[in-house]
Amino acid sequence: MAFDVAAVRGLFPALGDGWVHLDAPAGMQVPEQVATAASTALRAPVSGPGGIFPASQRAEAIVEAARRAIADLVGASPAGVVLGPNSAVLLQRLADALGDGWMIGDDVVVSRLDHPSNVAPWQRAAQRSGGTVRWAEVDIETCELPTWQYQELVTPRTKVVALTAASGAVGTRPDVRAAAEAAAEHGALVVVDAAAAAPFVPLDITAMGADVVAVNASAWGGPPVGALVFRNPAMLDQLPSVALEPGARGPERLELGPHAYPLLAGLVASVDYLAGLDDAAVGPRRERLLTSLGSVKSYQAGLLANLTNGLRRMRHVMVIGDAMRRVPSMAFTVNGVKAVDAVEHLAERGVCAFADPGTHGVFAVLGVGEVGGAVRVGLAHYTNASEVDQLIRAVAELG
């Protein structure tokens, strides 16, 4: 069945504001069913876990439902799902726990393509232990992340290989499996940031070869909740615990303080929303997720091609990168126009976009800061062809 973008748009009350929301890399708008689930949980009796009364049992049920939802999303066991405020916080907790056992001479491998949330924690952990940080570089022409370099970067002293499943900045989807195979040869832990990939492509933690996968529900229209998913749940009991409860086991060892139960209820609803994006999807939620996200991927490939081709036809615009595998996030520069001025122009025409100064991450490597920064845009499930055309027309006016 074809992806029904008109029906999807009807699920989002926020789209009634009249703006063209091409700001998806900062998080999608929230579907009505997610807001309803969170508000319903706020009104219902909920207590702390561990009691024998209904309000306590409701809290425990919400947490377990959230673990099952994330497990279905990435093809894992609920026993390996750690919940928290966002993936950046959870990755920092993981780095702190792992780094306590590192020694001088150990190293970590990070990439220039990654968001700082999957770089800075590993840099800090290596610095504390006297270790080394090794960098996987991007191809400055295509923004691909060549995986052959991991054969050279990963050594017997490598503790962690951290990389992204997709770049929210330039859209590149690197070959995680190839990098993971290089890491496995030396027993390094593979930590994958899938925050930018999860809304758009089916995820499978085992097929990726990842040991840990990080996601953020806000990326696909969920509440501000993050998760770390461990392929082998037994690993959790081998980590130092950050929990307040001395006897914490499993995922609770990396969970600090009480859960935000209404937000977790919204998280469950958001995964159900993803599973229902294709009306033809049937079967258990995991199967419906694979079908629906496959439909999303196909639909947005066409939209992204139209956007990319439209921008590349303009002599005053340079689209950054040309990766073969990508999610629908992109960046471009406008000749003679600073990014901050370009996004102001877009805002005046009702288009939401971001300006990146180009002073850090992949943009710094590409020298984007020297030309006034980059304009960042991203498509969402609810983006339609007319909105893409509106952006193209607005950018054309800058020439």
Domain that holds residue 347: 5-29+285-396
Q: Please state, in angstroms and rounded to a whole number, the distance separating the CA atoms of residues 56 and 288.
A: 31
Residues 234 and 290 in one domain: no
pLDDT at site 247: 86
Q: Please state, in angstroms and rounded to a whole number, the distance separating the CA atoms of residues 108 and 162.
A: 8
pLDDT at site 16: 96
CATH of the domain at 116: 3.40.640.10
Residues 386 and 292 in one domain: yes
Is there a domain that residue 204 lies in?
Answer: yes
Residues 20 and 83 in one domain: no
Residues 200 and 133 in one domain: yes
Name the amino acid, one letter, at 5.
V
Q: Can you read off the two tokens belonging to residue 346?
A: 């877009």
The pLDDT tens digits for 256-271 are: 989 999 999 999 999 9
CATH of the domain at 353: 3.90.1150.10
Is there a domain that residue 56 lies in?
Answer: no
Residue of 26, 381, 60 whose CA lies nearest to 224: 26
Residues 205 and 124 in one domain: yes
> Burial code of 77-99, b = ≥16 C-beta within 10 A, e = fewer?
ebebbbbbbbbbbbbbbbbbbbb
Residue of 20, 212, 252 whose CA lies nearest to 118: 212
Residue ranges in the chain assigned as alpha helix (H) = 5-9, 32-43, 54-74, 87-99, 120-129, 150-153, 176-184, 205-208, 261-275, 285-312, 339-348, 361-366, 385-396
Q: What is the pLDDT along the chain (399 residues), one digit of tens a residue?
A: 568 999 999 999 999 999 999 999 999 999 999 999 999 999 999 998 899 999 999 999 999 999 999 999 999 999 999 999 999 999 999 999 999 999 999 999 999 999 999 999 999 999 999 999 999 999 999 999 999 999 999 999 999 999 999 999 999 999 999 999 999 999 999 999 999 999 999 999 999 999 999 999 999 999 999 999 999 999 999 999 988 888 899 999 999 989 999 999 999 999 999 999 999 999 999 999 999 999 999 999 999 999 999 999 999 999 999 999 999 999 999 999 999 999 999 999 999 999 999 999 999 999 999 999 999 999 999 999 999 999 999 999 998
Residues 87 and 203 in one domain: yes
How many domains is the chain partitioned into structurally?
2
Residues 230 and 101 in one domain: yes
Is there a domain that residue 10 lies in?
Answer: yes
Residues 310 and 373 in one domain: yes
Is there a domain that residue 17 lies in?
Answer: yes
Residues 10 and 136 in one domain: no
Is there a domain that residue 42 lies in?
Answer: no
Q: Please state, in angstroms and rounded to a whole number, the distance separating the CA atoms of residues 145 and 177.
A: 12
Name the amino acid, one letter, at 66.
A
Q: Please state, in angstroms and rounded to a whole number, the distance separating the CA atoms of residues 380 and 100.
A: 39
Residues 304 and 217 in one domain: no
Is there a domain that residue 229 lies in?
Answer: yes
Is there a domain that residue 365 lies in?
Answer: yes
pLDDT at site 188: 98
First to last CA, the chain: 40
Residues 148 and 84 in one domain: yes
pLDDT at site 1: 57
pLDDT at site 257: 87
Residues 85 and 226 in one domain: yes
Is there a domain that residue 40 lies in?
Answer: no
- For the question of whether the overall pTM of this predicted structure is more than 0.85, the answer is yes
